[in-house]
Amino acid sequence: MYMKRSQIKRRPLADTVLASLEPEERDYRELDGNGLYFRVKKNGAKSWNLRYKKADGKWSWLGLGGFPAVSGKAARQKAQELQQMASDGIDLSSYRQEQNASAKQVYTFAQSAETWFERKQQRGLSKGTLRQMRLYLDRDILPALGNKDITAITRGDCAGVQAAIESRNAHVIAGKVRRWVSQIFSEAIARGRCELNPASELRHIAESGPRTQNYPHLLEHELPDFLKELRNGTARMRFLTTAALRMVLMTASRPGMVRHAEWKEIDLSRGLWTIDKQKMKMRRDFVCPLPRQIVETLREVYELSNRSRYVFPGIGHVNSMMSENTINKAIATIGYKGRMVGHGSRHTASTLLREHGWNRDYVEMQLAHVEPGTAGVYNKAAYVDQRTAMMQWYADYLDALEEGLSEARKRRFDDAVNVVPYPL
């Protein structure tokens, strides 16, 4: 049922009124309010127009879209925003042209992928990590998605990339690529290049792949015999090898970090080892407390260092580090091949400390485990006082296990858990 505009009784105009306004012999505009007009063409087409004053004081018109695609409420909200912009001196005509040009801009996935990779480079990731990212970008991701309009990529496209990698049983790589592709889309959304992340749910269809196993490690009841064998086997090993293994055990550090340790990082007077972020898996500086036992050992090592750059140099080379397999060979030498490896000592420490009640956050920080997304709150010296107490407790506990731990002494250790400073 049509309504003549002479029958309009109130403004702003209700959508029911807008829908029923009949066309006339000529196009006409009906005021809605605040410079917003409803236009009815003689052919029945209806749309919104905004009348606004330009910076030079002249009046002009701007179209806001057709009706009913743009409702009365939406048109009024947009009109209010544009009137404010006009009053602030913004040229609405130029603004509209820029908006239209931006809307027509097509971004390929490859463009967003390169932007993402550049940011990874700027963050100072290791050359090895960047090399791996570049390899799988060029080999798996970009050939499948690179030339596509990023807004046109589907979940099926992303699933195809994942499936292709899984088909060659590279499940670990598939997981990394899945995360990288999702990150690329997330950054593109933040930059206004697309609205959806079609890679966000790929984990739900990912193949499991073979289950990874923990490094061989010892439980608490196995430690006394191991520690005694280590003490007795010292004569069959270089002093530096034994010292390095003890440092791995008593600091719960990665063997590679101990091998790479440099004297410039060690502060024996304070009992602290500050590791540069370039050496850390998490790419952040890290402070590791050194128990008294390790400080004493390192003082002896320093006397033998012959001005070496590394704390544990290789044989015959002052400025080279200990070889990669030295620590595991030492463990095998005392009869624990297949039962224990250097990296497994981290699992041993984590399990023992947690079972005795040490705060999970202290343990995780000592292991240099940082949850994704916590970069903003990370502090290289976080919990350093608490971790100093914890690792001194742990070193003393290992010594006590080797010597033979009485129930009374065990209770004293239990009473010292999470006590700062360390009371024993």
**Confidence (pTM):** 0.52
Distance CA 34, CA 67 (A): 18
289 beta partners: 272
Pairing of strands 266-267, 59-66: unpaired
Catalytic residue among 4, 236, 270, 369: 369
Which amino acid is it at 352? L
Catalytic residue among 343, 347, 356, 387: 343
Distance CA 241, CA 270 (A): 24
Q: What is the pLDDT of residue 378?
A: 45
Catalytic residue among 78, 120, 238, 281: 281
Whether the upstream peptide bond of residue 12 has omega within 30° of 0, thus cis, is: yes
The yes-or-no answer on residue 354 being catalytic is no
The yes-or-no answer on residue 346 being catalytic is yes
Q: What is the pLDDT of residue 353?
A: 93
Q: What is the pLDDT of residue 57?
A: 82
Q: What angle do CA 334, 335, 337 make, to 5 degrees?
A: 115
Catalytic residue among 39, 76, 193, 254: 254
Whether the upstream peptide bond of residue 313 has omega within 30° of 0, thus cis, is: no
Q: What is the pLDDT of residue 372?
A: 41
Distance of CA 303 to the CA centre of its chain: 42
Q: What is the pLDDT of residue 104?
A: 59
Which amino acid is it at 273? W
Inter-CA distances, 314 with 11, 19, 275, 305, Å? 88, 86, 20, 11
The yes-or-no answer on residue 378 being catalytic is yes
Distance CA 60, CA 54 (A): 7
Question: Token pair for residue 135?
Answer: 């390899």
Catalytic residue among 95, 378, 409, 410: 378
DSSP H or E run through 119: helix 109-122
Q: What is the pLDDT of residue 324?
A: 81
Q: What is the pLDDT of residue 373?
A: 40
pLDDT tens for the chain, residues 1 to 424: 678 888 888 889 888 888 888 889 999 999 999 899 999 998 888 999 999 888 788 888 888 888 888 888 999 999 998 888 888 888 888 777 777 665 557 899 999 999 999 998 888 776 777 888 999 999 999 999 999 999 999 999 999 999 999 998 888 889 999 999 999 999 999 999 999 999 999 999 998 766 555 688 999 999 999 999 998 877 667 889 999 999 999 999 999 899 989 999 999 999 999 988 777 755 577 899 999 999 999 999 998 877 788 999 887 666 778 888 899 999 999 999 989 999 899 999 999 999 989 998 899 999 987 544 434 344 545 889 999 999 999 999 999 999 998 888 989 999 999 999 988 7
Whether the upstream peptide bond of residue 210 has omega within 30° of 0, thus cis, is: no
Question: Token pair for residue 326?
Answer: 């030295």
CB of 310 closer than 8 Å to CB of 260? yes
Distance CA 389, CA 417 (A): 9
Catalytic residue among 346, 347, 356, 387: 346
Q: What is the pLDDT of residue 374?
A: 39
The yes-or-no answer on residue 411 being catalytic is no
Q: What is the pLDDT of residue 370?
A: 56
Q: What is the pLDDT of residue 252?
A: 94
Domains of the chain: 5-104 (3.30.160.390), 109-205 (1.10.150.130), 220-415 (1.10.443.10)
Distance CA 35, CA 78 (A): 11
DSSP H or E run through 396: helix 384-403
